[in-house]
Amino acid sequence: MILNQAGTRRFKAYTSKHLDELLQRAGLGDEERLKVRAVATVLPFRTNAYVVEELIDWSAAPDDPIYRLVFPQEDMLPAEDVARLADLLKAEAPNAEIQAEANRVRAQLNPHPAGQKELNVPKIDDEPVPGLQHKYPETVLFFPKQGQTCHAYCTYCFRWAQFVGDADLKFASDDIGQMVGYLRSHPEVTSVLITGGDAMIMGESVIRRYIEPLLELEQLESIRIGTKALAYWPQRFVTDPDADATLGLFEEVTNAGKNLAFMAHFSHPRELESPLVESAVKRILGSGATIRTQAPLIRSINDDPAVWTRMWRRQLRMGLIPYYMFVERDTGPQDYFAVPLARAYEIFRDAYASVSGLCRTVRGPSMSATPGKVCVDGVTEIAGERVFMLHLIQARDPSLVGRPFFARYDPTAVWLSDLRPAFADRFPFEQEEALLPV
């Protein structure tokens, strides 16, 4: 392992050029490795030495949950698409030909779900504002240009389109003035979420340029940072050269009277076990920031209530706030990872019933769908009909927040679009939807 002068491990990334070697370590044969490499021409692959050496149990690969969390699987895509790409790789076809086929497959994977391109992008003088999304009145998402990668990529990630090198699919901006100007013109915005990618891939001097101007905006109550760094590279807050400066910046945010909230992604309890993670968490909490945890429910990785119970309990002991269990979004290899909504509710219910009240800050299972965050509250029978009970935790139209509604029970449904209304001709959000002012 590479060491820096202080004796701590430097960050070392593994990309698709290292994939075949790593797959051999997992015990995959020639044809299996070829098919996985074919999938990796469509879906991005990136991991790092910490994940490879500290988190993955190689004796259990390829069934180890952390391995499955970061390594492509041959059956993530339709078999005929994988076969065509594998043939091209085997024949050593020109890269342009391989990429053209990969792009064709990507186009079928719904790269921007929930109206991200059509409905969420705000405008100034009828021109789209790059790198911003404004779906809910009080919250703006900002995608800093330098933060549009991650320490490692999750195989289920709904932001996979950010990482494939296609500028038309990517949200990103480094125009800080435009972001601030937009916020000033929309005083209803009280929270900014810095997202990606992963904001914590940026060094302190870069992230400071984006955060400092926000401290001058009286309207802002909170600044949120979406990150997987605590799971995939906790050194960022402990031993990296700018770790201390980063923690100092966090203190400046909280001293300025803003709530600084880390939206930390933990998908499996093993990601919480390292002493480095415990140290990183203590340092972040010591800055005055809060850490809220969230993750999607993913088949073959965490589709077991005992896994969520362990995860939430450990998070509580560490001072973290369980926040969301999400449903796998309708993008990328959704068919591979999706858990039926009926089963998702059972997993959430059983895990929720096994933890104390302090853990029950968590909400879910929640779908981040076009109308908003739709929560599955349960399955019941009303007037002889079995139905899903649902409500909107957050909504594009604020008047819909908290209003219960019902859908016909369907044991195979995995997403909102699979559901049909019960006791009504349409769902409440299928009325003429009010779009955000721009």
How far the first Cα of the chain sits from its last, in Å, is: 51
Same domain, 36 and 138: no
Same domain, 180 and 99: no
Question: Would 407 be classed as within a structural domain?
Answer: no
Question: Would 170 be classed as within a structural domain?
Answer: yes
Query: What pLDDT score was predicted for residue 120?
Result: 83
Same domain, 95 and 129: no
β-pairing, 321-327 vs 191-194, is: unpaired
| pTM for this entry | 0.91
Same domain, 136 and 102: no
Q: How many CB atoms lie within 10 A of CB 52?
A: 20
Query: What pLDDT score was predicted for residue 173?
Result: 87
Burial class (CB in 10 A: 0-12, 13-18, 19+), 18: middle
Question: Would 430 be classed as within a structural domain?
Answer: no
Question: Would 138 be classed as within a structural domain?
Answer: yes
CA 388/CA 373 separation, integer angstroms:
15
C-alpha gyration radius of the chain: 22
Domain final residue pick, 279, 296, 313: 296
The CATH number of residue 218's host domain is 3.20.20.70
Query: What pLDDT score was predicted for residue 297?
Result: 97
CA 435/CA 412 separation, integer angstroms:
31
Domain final residue pick, 82, 107, 132: 107
Nearest to 348 by CA among 393, 302, 381: 302
Question: Would 421 be classed as within a structural domain?
Answer: no
Question: Would 353 be classed as within a structural domain?
Answer: no
Question: Would 427 be classed as within a structural domain?
Answer: no
CA 227/CA 31 separation, integer angstroms:
35
Same domain, 215 and 141: yes
pLDDT in tens, the chain (438 residues): 333 333 356 889 999 999 999 999 999 999 999 999 999 999 889 999 999 999 999 999 999 999 999 999 999 899 999 999 999 999 999 999 999 999 899 888 776 665 666 778 888 888 888 899 999 999 999 999 999 889 999 888 866 667 666 666 667 789 999 999 999 999 999 999 999 889 999 999 999 999 999 999 999 999 999 999 999 999 999 999 999 999 999 999 999 999 999 999 999 999 999 999 999 999 999 999 999 999 999 999 999 999 999 999 999 999 999 999 999 987 778 888 999 999 999 999 999 999 999 999 999 999 999 999 999 999 999 999 999 999 999 999 999 999 999 999 999 999 999 999 999 999 999 974 444 444
CA 164/CA 186 separation, integer angstroms:
32
Cβ atoms of 392 and 406 closer than 8 Å? no
Range of the domain at 53: 13-107
Query: What pLDDT score was predicted for residue 333?
Result: 80
Domain final residue pick, 266, 296, 326: 296
Same domain, 22 and 169: no
Same domain, 102 and 135: no
Angle (CA) 401-134-326 rounded to 5° is 55
- Two structure tokens written together for 399: 């008047």
Query: What pLDDT score was predicted for residue 437?
Result: 43
- How many domains does the chain divide into? 2
Q: Where are the beta strands (DSSP E) in 328-420?
A: 363-368, 372-382, 385-395, 404-408
**Of all helices (H) and strands (E), which one includes residue 247?**
helix 243-255
Same domain, 135 and 248: yes
Question: Would 241 be classed as within a structural domain?
Answer: yes
Query: What pLDDT score was predicted for residue 389?
Result: 98
CA 14/CA 70 separation, integer angstroms:
11
SS3 254: helix
Same domain, 27 and 98: yes
Same domain, 33 and 140: no
- Two structure tokens written together for 194: 């810095």
Same domain, 17 and 90: yes
Query: What pLDDT score was predicted for residue 269?
Result: 98
Same domain, 271 and 217: yes
